Amino acid sequence: MKNYWWKILGVVLVAYTIIGGLLFNVPRLNILNETIRNLHFHVPMWFGMIVMLLVSVVYSIKYLTNGSEKNDAFADQFAQVGVFMGVLGIITGMIWANFTWGEPWSNDPKQNGAAIGLLIYFAYFILRGSLEDPQQKGRISAVYNIFAFALLIPLLFILPRLTDSLHPGNGGNPGFNAYDLDSQLRLVFYPAVIGWILLGVWLAQIKSRIAVIKRHRHNQELEAAAFTTK
């Protein structure tokens, strides 16, 4: 039980987020109105994406250090879950933008930066798929993964602050804390961030273990084939 408490906590927090995010009272603000509820889904998805991709980079660094296929598998799967959460963040953001900004995509600097960042990671998966040698795939992918994350940070957190952006906290716009993240929203928002991150880690762990098992079986099959040819 002590090894599963955080998984149970993640499920409980996500369930609480869905119920509270849809049913709890929210501040009535101009333009935002009921769409402020998307705060509990859109923003935590981005938090989850950053955490998953950061963990992926850590495993890539570990792979470059010791060459363990397990670390390469974990780096790949955490990146996949991170990009999945990023796509969910883009979709929920477009839904929110359609109601508050009048269109789902307004070429906002943060929207464009997020899209470019995801495209960089899509290229990471294409790169992995194009390489057959496991060691070559692991080394090249690990190096690419590190640089991809290094590019993602300025795309999301630095460049939007240097120009006009409709996103809160960017381009001179006040952040949510400044005007509408009241106590009622905090009761759901903070648990939402923790819950979605825990759920993402759990999903990435499951996928990583499956990937490790598949690699182990593949290696066994190769060894058996090599033995029979002898």
Do 156 and 114 contact (CB within 8 A), yes or no?
Answer: yes
- Structural domain boundaries in the chain: 27-225
The confidence score (pLDDT) of residue 179 equals 45
The confidence score (pLDDT) of residue 216 equals 83
Structure token digits, residue 119: 């495209």
Structure token digits, residue 177: 């804390």
Element (DSSP H or E) covering residue 127: helix 109-130
Do 109 and 156 contact (CB within 8 A), yes or no?
Answer: no
- Residue where the block lists tokens 């900004």: 101
C-alpha–C-alpha distance, residues 51 and 41, integer Å: 16
The pTM is what? 0.89
Average pLDDT by consecutive 10-residue portion of the chain (230 residues)?
84 94 80 82 94 97 94 96 96 90 88 94 95 92 97 90 71 50 82 96 95 84 67
The confidence score (pLDDT) of residue 209 equals 94
The 8-class DSSP code of residue 25 comes to: -
Q: Is 107 left (phi over 0), alpha (psi -120 to 50) or beta?
A: left
C-alpha–C-alpha distance, residues 207 and 210, integer Å: 5
C-alpha–C-alpha distance, residues 79 and 74, integer Å: 8
The confidence score (pLDDT) of residue 57 equals 97
Q: Supply the angle between the helices 69-100 and 39-66 in degrees, to the nearest 10.
A: 160
99, burial (CB in 10 Å: exposed 0-12, middle 13-18, buried 19+): middle
Q: What is the CA radius of gyration of the chain?
A: 20
- Residue where the block lists tokens 């990009």: 83
